[in-house]
Amino acid sequence: MSTTPTPVKTPVWFWPAAGLGLVWNAYGVVQFIKSVTASRDSLMSMGMSAAQADTMSGYPLWMTVAFAVGVFGGLLGCALLLLRNRFAVPVFAASLIGYIALYIGDITEGVFAAMGMEQVVILTFVVVVAAALLWLSRHSVRHGVIA
């Protein structure tokens, strides 16, 4: 009787899903950098009203940290997923927690009210993608795709 585990064939969808997640989160990093370097004037020059620019440039530090955890966690998680490393799971969990905290902040700090439904839709989609990446990593560990 052999004690060597049978290698699991990587599903065809795994690489495109992990790769798209990496690209998605790299785009998120760009958005994060833009958000932390933006000024009230630069936001208004992009078409935001004064009230919107004040809201977006007045994020409390904890929201910026939550955004950073979400986006950099997502990027690192996707890199770990592509390396087939099981540490992707806790990293994606931290990313999702960061995005949920950001979502709560957008509610409590008036970002959704200032920016409107478009911001609600965008951040909701971000949270859904983060949850899907966490699910993908957990599913991959359970089925032996990553170790």
Structural domain count, the chain:
1
Residue 5 lies in a domain: no
Residue 8 lies in a domain: no
Q: What is the pLDDT of residue 3?
A: 56
Sole residue written with tokens 């960061």: 98
Look at residue 59 and give its three-state secondary structure.
coil
Structural contact between residues 52 and 113, judged by C-beta atoms closer than 8 angstroms: no
- Three-class SS of 107-141: HHCCHHHHHCHHHHHHHHHHHHHHHHHHHHHHHHH
**Using one digit for the tens of pLDDT, what is the confidence trace for 78-137?**
999 999 999 999 999 999 999 999 999 999 999 999 999 999 999 999 999 999 999 999
Q: What's the length of the chain? A: 147
The one-letter code for the residue type at 94 is: A
Residue 24 lies in a domain: yes
Q: What is the pLDDT of residue 84?
A: 94
Residue 36 lies in a domain: yes
Sole residue written with tokens 């495109």: 16
- Where residue 7 falls among pLDDT bands split at 50, 70, 90? low
Q: What is the pLDDT of residue 4?
A: 53
Residue 1 lies in a domain: no
Q: What is the pLDDT of residue 5?
A: 56
Per the prediction, the chain carries an average pLDDT of: 92
Provide the domain limits for residue 129: 14-142
Q: What is the mean pLDDT of residues 24-42?
A: 93
